[in-house]
């Protein structure tokens, strides 16, 4: 079996799919598609994914895009610990947290706050403080909800690591690098403790992006 992920190692969603493969102990190839150079809008990548997002994925000629589809497929076909709970309520909780990350947390924490502070600001551009101010309560609500839903833990959906953990970890890894993320995490000790646990897993350590 040959798995290929197309996208940059610094993308949060690419990292999530890589973490799935690392949790399963499956080898894969990462083919760089650099967003900063606009390679995701070039014909070669649009042929894999006409929406121009990353990751795209290939398994022995079976092409896929959309991280949930890729991760669920890998979880189904690969041996190793299941990353989707069998119990219906736990599975629903996992899907709910994936939905919160996709629909609310990612836009506020990464697309707005992290990109403004860590990319625009760091490169001497004019930081859009109004956009950050508008995104901040949305980011905080998303994290508060995930912490509430997590309950006792130790993982986001109970006793085992699931796709929900792999959805949130790369997002918080970046958000913690900017002051708004540090403040949000300081206010959420349950989530901060969860982050230390997920960051201690080999799947996290093996996928740390090379920045700069
Ligand atoms: N719905 C997509 C979202 C993926 C996504 O937003 N990826 C970001 C990088 S982390 C991206 O491709 N950004 C470039 C763009 O939107 O033009 C998925 O689940 O795979």
pLDDT at 122: 86
CATH number of the domain to which 47 belongs: 3.40.30.10
Cα–Cα distances (Å) from 10 to 18, 170, 188, in that order, read 11, 9, 25
Contacts of 187 (CB under 8 A, 6+ apart): 140
Residue by residue, pLDDT tens for the chain (212 residues) are: 799 999 999 999 999 999 999 999 999 999 999 999 999 999 999 999 999 999 999 999 999 999 999 999 999 999 999 999 999 999 999 999 999 999 999 999 999 999 999 999 888 999 999 999 999 999 999 999 999 999 888 999 999 999 999 999 999 999 999 999 999 999 999 999 999 999 999 999 999 998 76
- Cα R_g (the chain), whole angstroms: 17
Domain count, the chain: 2
pLDDT at 58: 98
Q: Is 211 domain-assigned? A: no
pLDDT at 84: 98
Which tokens belong to 94? 């996992």
| 194 close to ligand 1 (CB < 6 Angstrom) | no
CATH number of the domain to which 154 belongs: 1.20.1050.10
Choosing from 6, 12, 13 the residue with most ligand 1 atoms within 8 A of its CB, the one to mutate for a pocket test is: 13
Distance 34 CA to ligand 1 centre (A): 12
The answer to whether residues 73 and 95 belong to one domain is no
Residue 70 lies in domain: 3-77
Average pLDDT, rounded, for the chain: 97
pLDDT at 212: 65
Q: DSSP letters along 80-108, please? A: SS-SS-SSHHHHHHHHHHHHHIIIIIIII
Q: Residue 66: left if φ>0, alpha if ψ -120 to 50, beta else—which one? A: left
The answer to whether residues 72 and 101 belong to one domain is no
Q: Is 30 domain-assigned? A: yes
| 35 close to ligand 1 (CB < 6 Angstrom) | yes
Structural contact between residues 28 and 16, judged by C-beta atoms closer than 8 angstroms: no
The answer to whether residues 93 and 156 belong to one domain is yes
Q: Could you identify the atom of ligand 1 that is nearest to the CA of residue 110?
A: 10
Contacts of 33 (CB under 8 A, 6+ apart): 6, 7, 8, 39, 40, 45, 54, 56
The answer to whether residues 158 and 183 belong to one domain is yes
Strands 62-65 and 29-31: unpaired
């Amino acid at each position: 079996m040959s798995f290929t992920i197309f996208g940059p190692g610094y993308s949060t969603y690419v990292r999530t799919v890589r973490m799935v493969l690392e949790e399963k102990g499956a080898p894969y190839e990462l083919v760089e598609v650099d967003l900063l150079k606009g390679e995701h809008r070039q014909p070669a990548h649009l042929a894999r994914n006409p929406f121009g997002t990353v990751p795209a994925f290939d398994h022995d000629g079976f092409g896929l895009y959309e991280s949930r589809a890729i991760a669920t497929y890998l979880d189904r076909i690969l041996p190793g610990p299941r990353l989707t709970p069998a119990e219906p309520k736990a599975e629903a909780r996992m899907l709910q947290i994936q939905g919160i990350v996709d629909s609310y947390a990612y836009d506020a924490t990464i697309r707005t706050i992290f990109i403004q502070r860590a990319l625009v600001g760091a490169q001497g551009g004019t930081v859009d403080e109004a956009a950050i101010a508008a995104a901040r309560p949305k980011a905080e609500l998303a994290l508060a909800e995930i912490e509430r839903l997590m309950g006792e833990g130790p993982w986001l959906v109970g006793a085992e690591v699931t796709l929900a953990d792999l959805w949130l970890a790369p997002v918080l890894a970046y958000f913690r690098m900017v002051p708004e993320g540090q403040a949000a995490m300081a206010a959420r000790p349950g989530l901060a403790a969860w982050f230390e646990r997920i960051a201690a897993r080999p799947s996290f350590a093996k996928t740390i992006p090379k920045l700069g």
